[in-house]
């Protein structure tokens, strides 16, 4: 499935080196700007583009139940092998449609899109946002990160602004509660001038 999924170019081909690169990334350090938004009680969390499951495993350790979606077979299989927690369910699904997950009619307290959104072109982002927002429970939180800087060779990325993302999310009842830009925690990316915007939105549709 991963061969035809938009935004995954370069990941299957470089899976081995990426797994090595990602395995030492600290969940707490990477997500420090949004840690205060995570539930303190056990919750259902949807991790889109879960990679090798670093975030899913950390969230499961905190007591949460995680549905981890990863369309790149090599990364998903590595994640399943590394993190076999009963609190993590792995799925082969992808944006913009998330067809497998939507067929299950589940809702989540938290939806996480870490390093995913900038892989989608404008049309795909417009198609994705209603599908993502529909997965949030009333009062649920969408947490996103946007990468800014040079695009690695062989990858598919777009320059996506926080402002455009906020405007699109607002159209689907998502209220922005966090907009923070920071440098990358990875030394190599930092040397290249890579920065990240962390965004968070609350699902206010029920109020409307």
The pTM assigned to this predicted structure is 0.86
For 162-180, how does the pLDDT look when each residue is reduced to its tens digit (9 = 90+)? 999 999 999 999 999 999 9
Amino acid 47: pLDDT: 96
Residue spans of the domains in the chain: they are 2-203
For 73-126, how does the pLDDT look when each residue is reduced to its tens digit (9 = 90+)? 888 988 898 888 999 999 999 999 999 999 999 999 999 999 899 999 999 999
Longest dimension (CA), the chain: 47
20 backbone dihedrals φ, ψ, rounded to 5°: -65, -40
CATH number of 2-203: 3.40.50.150
Least confident of 10-24, 31-45, 53-67: 10-24
The single residue listed with the structure tokens 């029920």 is: 206
Amino acid 5: pLDDT: 55
In the chain, where does DSSP find H-type helix? Answer: 15-22, 27-30, 54-61, 73-82, 99-102, 122-133, 162-170, 187-191
The answer to whether residue 8 scores a pLDDT higher than 60 is no
Amino acid 20: pLDDT: 57
CA distance 204 to 29: 29
Amino acid 207: pLDDT: 53
């Amino acid at each position: 499935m991963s061969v035809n999924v938009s935004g995954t170019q370069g990941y299957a081909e470089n899976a081995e080196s990426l797994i090595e690169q990602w395995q030492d990334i600290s969940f707490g350090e990477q997500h420090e700007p949004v840690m205060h938004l995570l539930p303190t009680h056990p919750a259902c969390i949807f991790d889109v583009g879960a990679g090798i499951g670093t975030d899913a495993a950390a969230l499961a350790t905190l007591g949460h139940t995680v549905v981890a979606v990863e369309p790149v077979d090599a990364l998903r299989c590595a994640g399943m092998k590394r993190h076999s927690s009963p609190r993590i369910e792995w799925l082969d699904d992808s944006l913009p449609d998330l067809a497998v997950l939507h067929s299950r009619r589940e809702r989540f307290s938290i939806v996480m899109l870490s390093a995913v959104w900038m892989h989608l072109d404008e049309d795909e982002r417009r198609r994705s946002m209603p599908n993502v927002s529909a997965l949030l429970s009333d009062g649920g939180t969408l947490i996103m990160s946007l990468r800014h800087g040079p695009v690695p060779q062989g990858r598919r990325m777009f320059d996506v602004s926080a402002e455009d993302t906020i405007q699109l999310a607002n159209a689907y009842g998502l209220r922005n509660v966090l907009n923070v830009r920071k440098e990358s925690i990875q030394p190599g990316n930092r040397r290249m001038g890579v920065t990240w915007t962390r965004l968070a939105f609350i699902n206010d549709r029920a109020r409307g």
